[in-house]
Amino acid sequence: MGTEIDPRNAIFGGTVNEQAFDGMLKLGYRNGHFEANAFYEIFPVIDYKSYGMNLNIVTRPEKIMVPVAGFQISMIQRPWHLYPSLAINAKLEYHFNRWSRFFIYLRGESKLRSDWNDKIVHSGYFGVAYKLTNNK
Q: Spell out the domain ranges in the chain.
A: 2-130
Q: pTM for the whole thing?
A: 0.91
Q: In this predicted model, what pLDDT tens digit does every residue of 39-68 receive, in sequence order?
A: 999 999 999 999 999 999 999 998 999 999
Is the CA virtual torsion 106, 24, 28, 51 positive or negative? negative
Instruction: Judge whether residue 16 has pLDDT over 80.
Output: no
Q: What is the pLDDT of residue 98?
A: 74
Instruction: Judge whether residue 108 has pLDDT over 90.
Output: yes
Buried b (16+ CB within 10 A) or exposed e, 16-42: eeeeeebbbebebebeeeebebebebe
Q: What is the pLDDT of residue 135?
A: 62
- For 2-130, which CATH class? mainly beta
